Structure 1
Amino acid sequence: MKCSRLALAVSLLVASAAHAQSSVTLYGLIDTSLVYSNDARVNAANPSAGGGSQWQEFAGSVYTPRWGLRGTEDLGGGLSAVFLLENGFNSTNGTFKNGGDLFGRQAWVGLSASQYGTLTLGRQYDFMVTYLAPLSATGSGFGGNLAMHPYDNDNLNNDMRLNNSVKFASVPFHGVKVGAMYAFSNQAGGFSNNNAYSAGISYSFGPINLAASYLQINRDANSPNATGAVSTGDGDALTLGGLQRIYGLGAQYMFGKSSIGLVWTHSSTESPSALWFGGSTSNGALPGPPNGAGNYIKFDNFEINGRYFLQTNLSLGASYTYTMASFNSTTGNAFPHWNQVMAQADYLLSARTDVYIEGVYQRVGGGNGIPVFDAGVYTLNPATGNKQVVVAVGLKHRF
């Protein structure tokens, strides 16, 4: 009897110790707002259908609602097993985002070594998102989704993920972090058809943060691979077409919690047939042969942003982005350029809950009458012309 009790006590101690060395955390964020936009298309894909003022309840004006599970298990010697599963959803109606995928935002597992860094495998963000986006107003920056650069052409708003990827991100060495990743095409006989790779470096020293990142997606425009590194079935692809390159630099200076930042990014796509416009590549069809030889589109984005805390719980933020593009096709060329201003006020009701008001003004020129080069902010209905104003009043809660 005593032996059985002792065995039970030991098993309980072992179970407690094992539990103490591992953890699983449920987390999430809900962002819902009331949004006004002017000159919104009646049919988001058809500018000729007319437009007018639109009032709507909208999920994710700043940050897309999500919930997830993250876990770690201590394997000893500074090594841990880690995982993350993250779902994106629409808080106005409860439906899934990312094409209905359960864990469409992120899904990965890996090993983390405290002295070196973390190696992960699965559906993950590239280093434009990991290192450069935090220095911008868009994406993980304070302005979030509404501050997105046109079509999220540089992926700083983290609308695109890489499937089938292997990623390494180092721990800081004297303020320097480096990372690299590779995403497989998974196609038999097509190793380089829709594979991708990305790399980045960041440096932090006192109030100064610097970052540089690169992303390349290799695709055959004449033979699409829908299940490769960039899926065309979940609506997350930023362009449809051939080879896509994205790179950029950023700098940020912190003074207390406040900050000012500068970001430049460049992106290009060969043989483009559609852009991520109004939240869908189907709304962004480009003129000319879909896979016409010599077709290309290029973007350069120049952003300045700043955020100032009037009080510990009250901040004002703003950004200005100038984007210039060059589009070439056999049926016509265009050299559109965008001026976009974002302003925001955010008030913390608690450490986890805040209210905000955010507005965006966008003006486009040089579109040569091509509807996809009309004004358009994030996934809201694009404008029927070259100007659009968007104002959102919302509530965010983290758990």
Structure 2
Amino acid sequence: MNLSKIALLTLSAIGMIWAGQARAQSSITLYGVLDEFIGYQSTKVAGKNTSLVLLGNNGELTSRWGLRGAEDLGGGYKATFDLENGFDPGTGAVQNAYRFFDRQAWVGMAGPYGEIRAGRQNTPMFAWSGNLDAFSAATYASGYNNFANWLARVDNDISYLSPKIGTTQIELHYSVGGQPGTLAGNAVYQAAVQSNLGPVYLALAYLNAANATNSNRVQQIMAGGNYEYGWGKIYVGFFRGNDVISATTGNALSNPAGKYNPTVGPVGNVAGNYHNTWSFSADYRFSPFLSVGAGYAFITDDSSLDNTARQMSAIINYDLSKTTRVYGVVSKLNNYNSAQFKMAGASITTGAFLTPGAGQSETGVQVGIRHLF
């Protein structure tokens, strides 16, 4: 073999080594969810018995696709990002006409002392709520999701995620309001902590959001956890908020599901009364593939309207594989006084559910399929 061939082979080997290192230093992952269901709801609307049968989207998880990436910068540091779009698989339309990456759009820097992110991000309340509920805080069956009203996502959010201290992690968030002359107008502040203590998981999150003039503040607190008893989990969830909710006179949060028009601030100008939601649920695994669950949730209203409600539900999940699940739920929701709570889901499109008349009960049945990729 002559020197030129040896040199060529050497250069080729070096090129392959460098290419392999470059690929190892950065990564991009395409991921997503597809969720479709057949749903049935029955209630009284405007004094008439009304039922709805439909092919719906986003029962257990919101359908989405996203790009998640990281680049190794050396010394234990890396650049990170996530771009995530929500869509309706029934029509192929984006869920939010005002923004393409409506679910997440952030860039960050991670290192030995934690991670800093900036952009549109999930709130800890939204991200952790599924750990406090046998229904994963979704489907018709989740009274916790149907009654509570946590802010799901925040624009212009700067966050700090601590490294795990044992099994405990802390998150701090500040969303820049962008109002001239003030750092408080339209700002959103968050603090949260979650921990795994053997079979016990615990979470606590607080949110404080101001309107544009800082004359009204919505405050929310979420707490709860679960206990792994060997064949399943027992869940407890609590949520308290002072925002005006749909069961009363509107909603002080313009963005309860992260889909508001970005020209509108996150908080309305009408101060609300406190509402407390409690959720108790449990599941049981017959096998690694088959599980059942049941739960009870209720909400109390501190206002003079006393708009309370309760819900009892059951669920069955069967995993066809690691990425594909079929699920079925049955649920009964009872409204009292002028309350109008409804059965929603992970992020069901407006018009794909019924809103009961004041004080009317609602029945729901849902059978769906969810695929992860």
Which of 47, 54, 57 is residue 56 of structure 1 equivalent to?
A: 54
Which of 150, 158, 165 is residue 157 of structure 2 equivalent to?
A: 165
The one of the two structures with greater contact order (alpha-carbon pairs below 8 A, sep at least 6) is 2
The residue number in structure 2 matching 1:28 is 32
Cα shift at 1:100: 4.7
Cα shift at 1:206: 0.9
Runs of 5+ in structure 1 lacking a partner? 42-46, 225-240, 283-289, 328-332, 368-372
CA distance in 2, matches of 1:152, 1:8: 62
The residue number in structure 2 matching 1:206 is 198
Cα shift at 1:374: 1.9
Contact 1:375–1:384 (CA under 8 A) maintained in structure 2: no
Cα shift at 1:257: 5.8
Q: Does 2:283 match 1:307? A: yes
Which of 167, 188, 199 is residue 175 of structure 1 equivalent to?
A: 167
- Give the residue type in structure 2 aligned to 1:34: I
Matches within 5 A, 1:98-113: 98-113=96-111
Contact 2:335–2:361 (CA under 8 A) maintained in structure 1: yes
Cα shift at 1:187: 2.3
Matches within 5 A, 1:1-399: 9-39=13-43, 41=45, 47=46, 50=48, 52-113=50-111, 115-137=112-134, 141=136, 143-144=138-139, 146-149=141-144, 153-155=148-150, 160-220=152-212, 242-256=216-230, 258-269=232-243, 274-275=250-251, 291=269, 295-327=271-303, 333-367=304-338, 373-378=339-344, 379=348, 380-385=353-358, 386-399=360-373
Q: Describe the shift of the 1:38–1:269 C-alpha distance in structure 2 as closer, same or farther (beyond 3 A).
A: same
Structure 1 residues 219-255: Cα deviation after superposition (integer angstroms, max 9, x where no partner): 14xx69xxxxxxxxxxxxxxxx931100022121012
Cα shift at 1:256: 3.4
The residue number in structure 2 matching 1:229 is none
CA distance in 2, matches of 1:137, 1:313: 16
- Give the residue type in structure 1 aligned to 2:109: L
TM-score normalized with structure 2 length: 0.84
- Give the residue type in structure 2 aligned to 1:135: L
Contact 2:141–2:312 (CA under 8 A) maintained in structure 1: no
Cα shift at 1:195: 0.6
- Give the residue type in structure 2 aligned to 1:342: S
CA distance in 2, matches of 1:100, 1:90: 15
CA distance in 2, matches of 1:143, 1:291: 29
Cα shift at 1:73: 1.2
Cα shift at 1:9: 4.9
CA distance in 2, matches of 1:99, 1:153: 25
CA distance in 2, matches of 1:133, 1:146: 13
CA distance in 2, matches of 1:145, 1:27: 25
Contact 2:206–2:222 (CA under 8 A) maintained in structure 1: yes
The residue number in structure 2 matching 1:231 is none
Q: Percent identity?
A: 26
CA distance in 1, matches of 2:244, 2:51: 36
CA distance in 2, matches of 1:259, 1:142: 15
Structure 1 residues 243-272: Cα deviation after superposition (integer angstroms, max 9, x where no partner): 110002212101236100112111012799
Cα shift at 1:5: 6.9
Aligned to 1:269, the other structure's residue is in SS state coil
Q: Describe the shift of the 1:279–1:164 C-alpha distance in structure 2 as closer, same or farther (beyond 3 A).
A: closer
Quick check: 124-133 or 13-22, which moved more? Answer: 124-133
Q: Number of aligned pairs?
A: 350
Question: Once superposed, what is the RMSD of the aligned Cα atoms?
Answer: 2.9
TM-score normalized with structure 1 length: 0.79
Contact 2:144–2:237 (CA under 8 A) maintained in structure 1: no
Cα shift at 1:381: 2.0
Structure 1 residues 67-108: Cα deviation after superposition (integer angstroms, max 9, x where no partner): 111111111222111111111111111111134521101111
Contact 1:73–1:80 (CA under 8 A) maintained in structure 2: yes
Structure 1 residues 28-49: Cα deviation after superposition (integer angstroms, max 9, x where no partner): 11110000000264xxxxx47x
